Structure 1
């Protein structure tokens, strides 16, 4: 098949960890690569956010097309909706100029879906939609802090009605689509996120700590991901404070993420607020902000920690618990969204209520006092990740959805008719 992946604000080439750079970027990058390795032609369409970007970049045989829609500047995703008409018009023109037709579009996020729906109505290409986050769920948890307009709800309603298939990333996502959007369960497929075993694998803890310059004999807690309020990092810091005051246990917390490689309060204003919370909780010296790190380094952070903690208010899927489990590290996660699906309670870690530092501290204390339990949970998490959450498995499930909505027989016939020789650079000539 020839597949168009649309990801308007989340480029697969971006460094994860920034305000608008996280799980969706990772998802799109890995799914596109896996599909390409399986022999499909894959193009990713993302908004041009820098003036000097080329129209087309290459990512391991995947074409990444930088769509001119709005000013070529980095803008918050909440500001991008007015440019989606321009985005859709570019897609339509680009698709028409291609010698080989696209068999299916996979839109990621509601604005990508809006653009894809316009293309579908013009060119008749089937549309698969993954929301990654739902507007009504976001509004429920963020209230007036939600920067998206109410128009998002109607757009999502339309996508639920007119997408050829909807991808839910976990059972909670499916339930929200049905309960809040009236989605037909027959049109929903549950396909989770995954991890790459080449990126995430266990490393001996002492070796990982030595490589990072971390103390060998401290109980170390890791928080990794986007440094934004809804991720609940403040709750983790307060939990470390309760661990100290009520359980008499000292721990070191490392916070990895942000908009710059060095922990910078100007680039990442949330750091300033979190440092104030650490100071008030009496754990400022034990709370270390690391800054953003490349994905090739992250397995060392996961492996070096005694426990990975993530307690967001809500989480459509949450890719970091899977990555931690893939490194053999137990996980304490908020009992919300996709985390309650990835973390097996009492087996690979524990689920705790969000915004409940006392409950978090109780679980941290149990792991700190029982290293053998922590080790067993880490081993169980590793086995679960390798069985349930590989990118190759994710891509295989998506391929089946694409083939169904595109009509696999038609796809095969088109491919034979339009087959072209491979270019010298690899990949089909297009």
Structure 2
């Protein structure tokens, strides 16, 4: 249902490319926009894809698990019964056209009306559900009393869909108990299936740092500020002298949403500078922020308010361009307080960067404090400033943790290996090992 811009779309693409090597043929049904970053035909090229064009009205535009001010996508829990039925009817037609009833397993990402459509069109095909975490956040907000008008109806639906699933893939061990509590599922049906990285793409690359930063910050800038057009923030060669001069670089790759805490990161950087704990030529690069999409405090405003120096906004770049950016940096930092996994942490570590992250949820399972990076408490500006200072000011320790981060990422999070683990789950479900109800068929998903 989700058009390809979020993290779950990257997971879907990676698994769809890798599963055939493990004996599974994949047909992909996905929402799409007519052009740009939401064009599924471009994003999922070379795959057997059934794109559903939102712009042409073939299906309703997808709702969200987040309720963000100004967002076009309404939070699921605010959609009434008629809206729900419109989604189910649309996706039922899509599943029918794609021949869902003739497949061996339906691998459904997130808990959405696709589950209801699958139950109507292909009731005898087993379902494997991939929980990416944002659905759990919405359910937790509902449990805490969020006043969405149709919240309880969606809780009942999502619990029913989860309980119908033969297996539920969760991103980290910390999600198992949350999923059990929120969805009422048998913990034995949960399988820890972390996100990964493409080892053929993500690795330390030989990059001319000076030329790279000059090209992306001076010659063709993409940074932007609220109310201005894409590319409105540009830099001179004098501005980026710390970057082109070889000073240490911390990099963050993130959307500009409130939970990412980019304002906190900028203030922590300014705090370390004001305390004299950072070298004068140290830089912080903020990569990401889809043009016009931000929530709360924009990082450009945080830079201006804090007086932080040597902070550069690099703008939004396609996923395939990330390895070169990561290879021009020395440490990766992610201040997000509700990161359900943190795929970009894994990708940065695969490029040899030690990571600074928050000691909660997915990042706490990815980063080993003192070994592959630094973990800090959420929303603790002082701790984050100290971690930045420690990483930037101590190149020997930074490189030591970076080497271990590279090894750990390649051992635990390579997509070919993770897809092999998923293929075993699909084999088990298709073969009916779990409860004897299912019968074995030629594997397609």
Name the TM-score class by shorter chain: 0.7 to 0.9
User: Which residue, 366, 375, 388 being the options, matches 1:364?
Assistant: 388
**Contact preservation (8 Å) 2:256, 2:294:** no
Q: Secondary structure at the match of 2:352?
A: coil
**Contact preservation (8 Å) 1:117, 1:159:** yes
Q: Secondary structure at the match of 2:250?
A: strand
Change (3 A) 1:279 1:91: same
Paired position in structure 2 for 1:93: 96
For residue 256 of structure 1, report the CA deviation from its aligned partner: 0.8
For residue 145 of structure 1, report the CA deviation from its aligned partner: 8.9
For residue 408 of structure 1, report the CA deviation from its aligned partner: 6.6
For residue 402 of structure 1, report the CA deviation from its aligned partner: 1.2
For residue 304 of structure 1, report the CA deviation from its aligned partner: 1.2
Alignment of 1:228 onto 2:218: no
Distance in 1 separating the partners of 2:88 and 2:409: 39
Structure 1 range deviating more: 237-246 or 173-182: 173-182
Distance in 1 separating the partners of 2:318 and 2:41: 23
Distance in 2 separating the partners of 1:54 and 1:223: 26
Q: Secondary structure at the match of 2:270?
A: helix
Distance in 1 separating the partners of 2:273 and 2:147: 34
Alignment of 1:268 onto 2:258: no
Q: Secondary structure at the match of 1:137?
A: helix
Unmatched segments (≥5 aa) in structure 2 = 64-70, 215-242
Distance in 2 separating the partners of 1:101 and 1:320: 36
Distance in 2 separating the partners of 1:245 and 1:55: 46
Paired residues for 1:136-285 under 5 Å: 136-138=136-138, 140=140, 150=151, 151-204=153-206, 207-213=208-214, 214-249=243-278, 250=280, 251-260=282-291, 267-270=292-295, 273-283=298-308, 285=309
- Deviation string 1:29-88 (CA, Å, 9 cap, x unpaired) is 101111134442211111243399999786224324326212699952636864421333
Q: Secondary structure at the match of 2:327?
A: helix
Paired position in structure 2 for 1:132: 132
Change (3 A) 1:41 1:169: same
Q: Secondary structure at the match of 1:128?
A: strand
Structure 2 length normalisation: TM-score?
0.78
- Deviation string 1:202-223 (CA, Å, 9 cap, x unpaired) is 024x634532333233221111
**Contact preservation (8 Å) 1:105, 1:128:** yes
Distance in 1 separating the partners of 2:40 and 2:3: 16
**Contact preservation (8 Å) 2:249, 2:331:** yes
For residue 110 of structure 1, report the CA deviation from its aligned partner: 1.4
Distance in 2 separating the partners of 1:145 and 1:246: 41
- Deviation string 1:235-286 (CA, Å, 9 cap, x unpaired) is 21111011112244243211111224xxxxxx23449732222222111x52
Change (3 A) 1:182 1:152: same
User: Which residue, 69, 72, 75 being the options, matches 1:78?
Assistant: 75
Paired position in structure 2 for 1:119: 118
**Contact preservation (8 Å) 1:302, 1:327:** yes
Paired position in structure 2 for 1:63: 49
Number of residue-to-residue matches in the alignment: 390
Distance in 1 separating the partners of 2:185 and 2:416: 27
- Deviation string 1:293-342 (CA, Å, 9 cap, x unpaired) is 12221111111112110011211111010000000001001111111111
Q: Secondary structure at the match of 1:41?
A: coil
> Aligned-pair RMSD on alpha carbons?
3.3
Distance in 2 separating the partners of 1:146 and 1:347: 43
Structure 1 range deviating more: 46-55 or 77-86: 46-55
**Contact preservation (8 Å) 1:48, 1:69:** no
Unmatched segments (≥5 aa) in structure 1 = 1-7, 12-20, 261-266, 417-427
For residue 25 of structure 1, report the CA deviation from its aligned partner: 1.3
**Contact preservation (8 Å) 2:61, 2:73:** no
**Contact preservation (8 Å) 1:303, 1:327:** yes
Structure 1 range deviating more: 208-217 or 45-54: 45-54
**Contact preservation (8 Å) 1:334, 1:351:** yes
Paired position in structure 2 for 1:402: 426
